[in-house]
Amino acid sequence: MDNYNPAKMLEFSERGDERGNLVVVEGAIDVPFEIKRIFYIYGSDKDVIRGKHANRESEFVLVNVAGTSKIKVMDGKGNEKVYALTRPRTGIYLPKMVWKEMYDFSEDSVLLCLASTHYDGSEYIREYDEFVRIINGEAR
């Protein structure tokens, strides 16, 4: 479990002065891909679990630009790790083919999601058992 780390925490540079702070995130510079899609999640209750899927092609960077949340990442081989997003200048990079679950949203949470691909519903794996079979090379 200690060696398991498909995801990676990212720290973005923060600039600011007496007027406030500014965080810049640039595709292929601050994140390891060109950004093709941006969406955000807000208004989720603390007990709600979002995500619950893996992507065959898409990579993501998630940033809580307001509030906090947790991200559980699983590799389909029994390893998992939980990341806490608590500051608007940190994010988590999620490579393709990891299972992700977002949860424990604070009341003011706004979770920004940067994606490497345009939306294609066919590349989503929405059943964990299917994800495990694919990762382990097992036929259906």
Catalytic positions, please? 53
**Token pair recorded at residue 133:** 């079979």
> 100: number of CA atoms within 13 Å, CB side?
26
What are the start-end ranges of the E strands in the chain?
8-11, 14-17, 20-23, 37-42, 50-55, 60-66, 69-74, 80-85, 90-94, 99-103, 110-115, 124-125
Residue with tokens 């899609």: 37
